[in-house]
Chain A
């Protein structure tokens, strides 16, 4: 396939509040993301970076412009078709974890599978949790009984359980301490090293440093787009724990 993973061309996003005052969140943004990239979208609060993620993640449609995912014009798809795209191609990690309360870690990870046609839901969810280093003796714990780092691992497992092409993360370390943040970012690096495309939206330069490409956005427009070489101490070599999942499968 010669198509890039994502190609957005001249997209605008305009919000209408109460049917009159228009807020332009994005103006004439074009961006291409290839398979295997680790991109950080950086910007201040209100710069439009979350809007961009919502559009690239097929959560929303642009007001103008076109977005293609693997060559498919997703900006023209209806809600139902977009839901299928999100289910099969895209994983999300949200800032505040967004886990279902009073629901076990395992069941939270199963959630995307419920809306797919996959079989062996429990097995897939278990393997995803194992891949992100979630302690397997806590599978039946509710989010309230887990630490912040563990909750974000559950959210990460949920994002990859459907084996998506691309994982989007919106401020994934926003609610975590420094140590947990480093662990989670290392996990994203491992995911990327395994070949998965990762897009992280953040306002923290420390988080962006893990990425291989940093896109700065300000006032709804891209102001900088450059390659980044993560410092040596942030490099996470080797495959992630996914390869050892044979033990669990039994």
Chain B
């Protein structure tokens, strides 16, 4: 039988019993809808990860105090005190592939208030290099300057979230806020940055000069980290060992002693975020797979019943010259037509659902060709697997047996 005729016959078989066709389709629609949603959400998550990496900076590195897995802390939960300003100076002096060095110290949850209105924010002591290293500047007013650092000035630049918490819609410029009990004059507001690779709000921060934080607020002589920007992203692989060697020399670490610092690269950020998204995706794919499986079982079941119901039709077709292969092809095509039609419906509903999901939960979703292709491939696959057994059974009927029914 010609292919076009065959699909016409299969389609006619389906339209002759619309209710049965509809019932067979439902499971597949649900399964492919789930699959499309998963893929859209998964690609959305991936996109978000890439955005975070971009925020971190593709040519950026982070040197954190403390070694091993407990970044920022040494064993025993005391703050890591190993990273010093001299380390930052040495990095800038010794390594030519480094463009900017931004040492910083931090009070992670400090009490901040304005006119008696209390709030909590991360207080960062930074140098002017912070802005170019993060590609992040003040949206209003100006960022911390070299003069501020030299003068140990009591000035602060607010992140957008901190600004909103403290001032609401009022103008913060020139106003005095309290960090702990110390007064600081607001001289700028940062651009919006969003969520950090670790999931924190990078906008709920208050920036002050590094010297001011170290000597006036925290009274420490160590840094929490040094953010670096390289001249080129291609240099990362060669530069990481150079930084390690230099810092070990600075810290006079003997061979065999583990690092008392750690270095984070954009690749690691991607992996960190990817692992979280990956676990989530595996779970969702399993859910989509189960619903597709259930849909396939329904199709196979109803097809088997329909083969019994349509014995007479099968017998007649064979009597007038249909070969077993023609019958098998017809039933297989019917199954595939059902699942692929259901699959396409599922793709449409899944895309609509993804948009709704994005709108309701503000989780980004991505509608992609990959989802369409995956939907069609998986639904055809289910059709083939579900239709094979019923089609074989139909093909095996002899014309005499089928007509006798």
Chain B residue nearest to A116 in the complex (CB):
B321
Report chain B residues within 8 Å CB of A115.
1, 317, 320-323, 326
Contact present for A111 and B16 (CB under 8 Å): no
Name the residue in B9, B321, B398, B400 with the highest tally of chain A Cβ atoms < 10 Å from its Cβ. Answer: B321
CB distance from B105 to the nearest CB of A (A): 81
Q: Is the CB of A12 closer than 8 A to any CB of chain B?
A: no
Q: Is the CB of A150 closer than 8 A to any CB of chain B?
A: no
Contact present for B316 and A83 (CB under 8 Å): no
Interface size on A, residues (CB 8 A): 26
With A60-B400, A80-B324, A94-B403 as contacts: A111 and B317 at CB distance below 8 Å: yes
With A83-B321, A100-B316 as contacts: A114 and B5 at CB distance below 8 Å: yes
Q: Is the CB of A59 closer than 8 A to any CB of chain B?
A: yes
Q: Is the CB of B286 closer than 8 A to any CB of chain A?
A: no
A59 to B398, CA, bound (A): 8
Chain A residue nearest to B321 in the complex (CB):
A87
A107 to B316, CA, bound (A): 14
Report chain B residues within 8 Å CB of A158.
320
Partner of A111, one of B320, B324, B398: B320
Q: Is the CB of A32 closer than 8 A to any CB of chain B?
A: no
A92 to B317, CA, bound (A): 11
CB-CB contacts below 8 Å: A42-92 with B: 54, 57, 59-60, 79-80, 83-84, 86-88, 92
Chain A residue nearest to B399 in the complex (CB):
A59
Q: Is the CB of A237 closer than 8 A to any CB of chain B?
A: no
Partner of A101, one of B1, B9, B16, B326: B16
Report chain A residues within 8 Å CB of B317.
111, 115
With A60-B400, A94-B403, A98-B312 as contacts: A112 and B321 at CB distance below 8 Å: yes
Q: Is the CB of B52 closer than 8 A to any CB of chain A?
A: no
Q: Is the CB of A140 closer than 8 A to any CB of chain B?
A: no
Name the residue in B12, B319, B403 with the highest tally of chain A Cβ atoms < 10 Å from its Cβ. Answer: B319
A88 to B16, CA, bound (A): 28
Report chain A residues within 8 Å CB of B400.
54, 59-60
Q: Is the CB of A102 closer than 8 A to any CB of chain B?
A: yes
Q: Is the CB of B325 closer than 8 A to any CB of chain A?
A: yes
Chain A residue nearest to B12 in the complex (CB):
A103
With A54-B400, A59-B399, A115-B1 as contacts: A83 and B313 at CB distance below 8 Å: no
Q: Is the CB of B318 closer than 8 A to any CB of chain A?
A: yes
A100 to B12, CA, bound (A): 11
DSSP majority for the B interface? helix
CB-CB contacts below 8 Å: B1-22 with A: 1, 5, 9, 12, 16
Partner of B321, one of A86, A98, A102: A86
Contact present for A100 and B323 (CB under 8 Å): no
A116 to B312, CA, bound (A): 20
With A59-B399, A114-B1 as contacts: A80 and B316 at CB distance below 8 Å: no
A22 to B403, CA, bound (A): 21
CB distance from A168 to the nearest CB of B (A): 10
Partner of A98, one of B9, B325, B403: B403
Report chain A residues within 8 Å CB of B1.
114-115
Chain B residue nearest to A86 in the complex (CB):
B321
A79 to B402, CA, bound (A): 14
Report chain B residues within 8 Å CB of A87.
320-321
Contact present for B324 and A86 (CB under 8 Å): no
Report chain B residues within 8 Å CB of A84.
321, 323
Chain B residue nearest to A117 in the complex (CB):
B2
Chain A residue nearest to B317 in the complex (CB):
A111
Chain B residue nearest to A121 in the complex (CB):
B5
Partner of A79, one of B16, B324, B403: B324
CB-CB contacts below 8 Å: A168-200 with B: none
A83 to B314, CA, bound (A): 13
Report chain B residues within 8 Å CB of A83.
318, 321-324
A193 to B324, CA, bound (A): 35
Report chain A residues within 8 Å CB of B9.
114
A116 to B323, CA, bound (A): 11
A86 to B398, CA, bound (A): 13
Mask of A197-223 contacts with B, CB within 8 angstroms, 1/0: 000000000000000000000000000
Chain B residue nearest to A111 in the complex (CB):
B320
Report chain A residues within 8 Å CB of B313.
100
Contact present for B320 and A112 (CB under 8 Å): yes
With A86-B319, A115-B321 as contacts: A60 and B16 at CB distance below 8 Å: no
Name the residue in A54, A59, A88, A116 with the highest tally of chain B Cβ atoms < 10 Å from its Cβ. Answer: A59
Report chain B residues within 8 Å CB of A92.
319-320
CB distance from B395 to the nearest CB of A (A): 10
Report chain B residues within 8 Å CB of A100.
16, 313, 316
CB distance from A163 to the nearest CB of B (A): 13
Report chain B residues within 8 Å CB of A54.
400
Chain A residue nearest to B322 in the complex (CB):
A115
Contact present for A79 and B321 (CB under 8 Å): no
CB distance from A223 to the nearest CB of B (A): 24
CB distance from B403 to the nearest CB of A (A): 7
A98 to B313, CA, bound (A): 8
A79 to B395, CA, bound (A): 11
CB-CB contacts below 8 Å: A105-121 with B: 107, 111-112, 114-116
Report chain B residues within 8 Å CB of A162.
320-321
Other A-B pairs beyond A111-B317, A111-B320, A112-B321, 18, CB < 8 Å: A59-B399, A60-B399, A79-B323, A83-B318, A86-B318, A86-B319, A86-B321, A86-B399, A87-B321, A92-B320, A98-B312, A98-B316, A98-B403, A103-B16, A107-B12, A114-B9, A115-B1, A158-B320
Name A residues whose Cβ lies closer than 8 Å to a Cβ of B.
Answer: 54, 57, 59-60, 79-80, 83-84, 86-88, 92, 94, 98, 100-103, 107, 111-112, 114-116, 158, 162
Selected A-B contacts with CB under 8 Å, 15 pairs: A59-B399, A59-B403, A60-B399, A80-B324, A83-B318, A83-B322, A86-B321, A87-B320, A87-B321, A92-B319, A102-B16, A103-B12, A112-B320, A114-B5, A115-B1
